[in-house]
């Protein structure tokens, strides 16, 4: 079983129960059962910023929502280490203006994780061989 990382939007969709396909949900459920599901701590920051800017609405208050995420057995939060932060500034052939995207990609590269994302820029980057996607992470 491969280790999986959820991009920020796929984390939101998973917790809110929207938009993900059945095969993606099966991969996520299997990863949870095997303690192989991961998120980056930058996703928590990114979600908090989106809530603060009224760009998204969650099904519960932010702190309660984050607690729910962190309480999922089999889901691991990967903190931003010095290695990840440095890697995010030195991604090969990157054109990502969004620092959160760079940190998520760097996390995947540092831990050899497969990403579930619908972000076309990240998918294109993966198609050039710089990142691994979960089998269903295509548009």
CATH of residue 8's domain is 3.40.50.1010
Backbone angles phi, psi at 132, to 5 degrees: -100, 135
Tell me the torsion sign for CA atoms 37, 55, 122, 92. negative
Tell me the torsion sign for CA atoms 30, 32, 37, 40. positive
* pTM more than 0.85: yes
Residue 103 forms part of a structural domain: yes
pLDDT tens sequence across 49-72: 999 999 999 999 999 999 999 999
User: Does residue 100 carry a pLDDT above 60?
Assistant: yes
Residue 139 forms part of a structural domain: no
User: Does residue 139 carry a pLDDT above 70?
Assistant: no
Domains in the chain, number: 1
Residue 32 forms part of a structural domain: yes
Q: Give the pLDDT score at 135.
A: 75
The count of other CB atoms within 10 Å of the CB of residue 120 is 9
Q: Give the pLDDT score at 87.
A: 95
Residue 48 forms part of a structural domain: yes
């Amino acid at each position: 079983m491969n280790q999986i990382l959820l991009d920020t939007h796929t984390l939101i969709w998973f917790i809110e129960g929207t938009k993900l396909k059945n095969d993606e949900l099966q991969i996520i459920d299997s990863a949870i059962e095997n303690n192989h599901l991961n998120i980056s701590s930058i996703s928590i920051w990114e979600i908090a910023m989106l809530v603060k800017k009224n760009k998204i609405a969650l099904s519960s208050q932010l702190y309660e929502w984050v607690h729910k995420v962190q309480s999922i057995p089999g889901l691991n939060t990967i903190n931003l280490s010095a290695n990840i932060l440095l890697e995010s500034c030195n991604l090969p052939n990157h054109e990502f203006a969004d620092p959160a995207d760079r940190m998520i990609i760097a996390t995947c590269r540092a831990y050899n994780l497969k990403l579930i994302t619908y972000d076309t820029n990240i998918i294109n980057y993966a198609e050039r061989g710089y990142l691994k996607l979960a089998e269903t992470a295509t548009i």
